[in-house]
Structure 1
Amino acid sequence: MPRNHSFRFKQFTVQQDQCAMKVCTDACVLGAWAQVDGAKKVLDIGTGTGLLSLMVAQRTTGASIDAIELDEAAAQQARDNVAASPFTGRVQVIHTPIQQHKPQELYDCIITNPPFFQADLRSPDAGVNQAHHAQDLTFAELLAAIDRLLKKTGVWNVLLPVEESDKLQQLAEVGGWVPTHQLLLTHQPGRKPFRMLSTYVHNERRAVTNMKKELFIYETDGRTYSPEFRELLKEFYIIF
């Protein structure tokens, strides 16, 4: 996906020149795939441009969404993107660390594309560091926030590189969370998956069977979008 100053979807446009992390294919897949059915109050941790909040708003009827963002410039751009969308009355962008967020009520659903690369090389760009590396939000802190902010009957959705996802899952299961849906995202058949999308519930809720699937973005030629990818993103991408 090109790194343009803006990215236009069918129902909204995302401006991104003030955000270190631009609109990317894997985040779009998360926004379209995340398990949000029935949610009335949703939390987006690390909203960046506001992309995930806008996608969730489009997919839900009447859901109220709090979009948390640590970076001040990104938070303002997310506010502008929300204000220019049809969902301006349903998405509230809040500039604060998630560790300090204190809502009046708990959430039915959480969605997040959190910092990853828990111990990796740093970029010269401080904004990219903050977005990519867990220097301001470790996995332990993320799980603590989910424990504090999500209803026990709620669900949370997360996108990470595959190895990082495995690390988070180990910590989550120790804390009583189990995955119900997982999606391995792969560029094309024959390539290794590069992202894992997961939905978790608390293991006290019920016996859980994990539904793990794989999604190829492209067919074997590496250029033609797969039918499954087109079906998932058809309500968002103007090219479908």
Structure 2
Amino acid sequence: MSIFKFKEFEVAQDRCAQKIGTDGVLLGAWACQDKTPYNILDIGAGTGVISLMLAQRFPSAQIEAVELDEDAFEQAAENFENAPWSDRMFCFHATFQEYFEEIDETFDLIISNPPFFDSSSIQNDNAMENTREQARFDDALPFEELLFGVYQLLDDDGVFACVIPYDREAHFLKIAAHYKLSPARITHVKGTENSAVKRSLIELRFRESEIKTSALTIEISRHNYTAEYTALVKDFYLKM
């Protein structure tokens, strides 16, 4: 079994198409720095790593996660059960659309590392046959439906945090504005100082405010991490 060991928990990932990666760990460490959420929703849980990171960061939080893929759902549920915080974590097997149509509560923090490749741009008819790629395509949860669900479930004073490709940021924020969600905090992420920005970490809220923008570089050189990145993830990675 493929086990990824963090400082305070372990994550099995052998049954998940999407393995633990930098995007999810960054989001789990970066999100919601200025408030303490007490009820959290993780959309598209995958292995459950983001939920587990948030359970570590916020000891009083109740966490719900929703996952469409059956294997990933079962694995996330097992990872929750094996965690030190299993009594306050629960995973639902459903599409997000099914979930938000049934749920009548709201959340202080909603978080998602959503599928983000636009399948309409792919010419290879066989591309969608690969499970790993399918998990990263946005057919199952387009930005429009993701943000509509967030609009339905986010508390008036809540925060929605996500990570998306930098080149889709403007499109994403345009859709968010339609649902009265405004950017409060954006961090642009690149691998090295000389590489292009690849990811946008974004927090949205219902109330407009001055946008806090920043940049984050992950590595100085291969496996030589910047001080900013190390400070962000040091409570989680074993070797940080």
Same fold by TM (over 0.5)?
yes
- Structure-1 separation of matches of 2:17 and 2:170: 25
8 Å CA contact 2:18–2:46 kept in 1: the answer is: yes
- Structure-1 separation of matches of 2:121 and 2:8: 37
8 Å CA contact 1:158–1:198 kept in 2: the answer is: yes
- Structure-1 separation of matches of 2:239 and 2:21: 15
- Secondary structure, counterpart of 1:194 in structure 2: strand
- Structure-1 separation of matches of 2:67 and 2:169: 21
Q: Give the aligned partner of residue 108 of structure 1.
A: 108
Q: Give the aligned partner of residue 3 of structure 2.
A: 6
- Secondary structure, counterpart of 1:89 in structure 2: helix
8 Å CA contact 2:183–2:211 kept in 1: the answer is: yes
* Bigger fraction of residues in helix: 2
Q: Map of 1:25-174 to 2, 5 A cutoff?
A: 25-35=22-32, 37-101=35-99, 102-118=102-118, 119-121=120-122, 123=127, 125-174=129-178
Q: Give the aligned partner of residue 218 of structure 2.
A: 217
- Structure-2 separation of matches of 1:188 and 1:7: 24
8 Å CA contact 2:48–2:80 kept in 1: the answer is: yes
Q: Give the aligned partner of residue 177 of structure 1.
A: 181
What is the number of equivalent residue pairs in this alignment? 233
8 Å CA contact 2:151–2:181 kept in 1: the answer is: no
8 Å CA contact 1:188–1:222 kept in 2: the answer is: no
Q: Which amino acid aligns with 1:15?
A: A
TM (norm. structure 2) is 0.92
Query: Which range is displaced more, 38-47 or 96-105?
Result: 96-105
- Secondary structure, counterpart of 1:116 in structure 2: coil
Q: Give the aligned partner of residue 15 of structure 1.
A: 12
Give how far 1:103 is off.
Answer: 2.7
Alignment RMSD: 1.5
Identity within the alignment, %: 34
- Structure-2 separation of matches of 1:133 and 1:76: 21
Where in structure 2 are there 5+ consecutive unaligned residues? none
Which digits, 9 at most, give the CA deviation of each residue in 1:202-240, with x for residues without a partner? 1xx3x4111111111111x34311111111111000001
8 Å CA contact 2:148–2:179 kept in 1: the answer is: no
- Structure-2 separation of matches of 1:238 and 1:223: 14
Give how far 1:167 is off.
Answer: 1.4
8 Å CA contact 2:23–2:113 kept in 1: the answer is: no
TM (norm. structure 1) is 0.92
- Secondary structure, counterpart of 1:198 in structure 2: strand
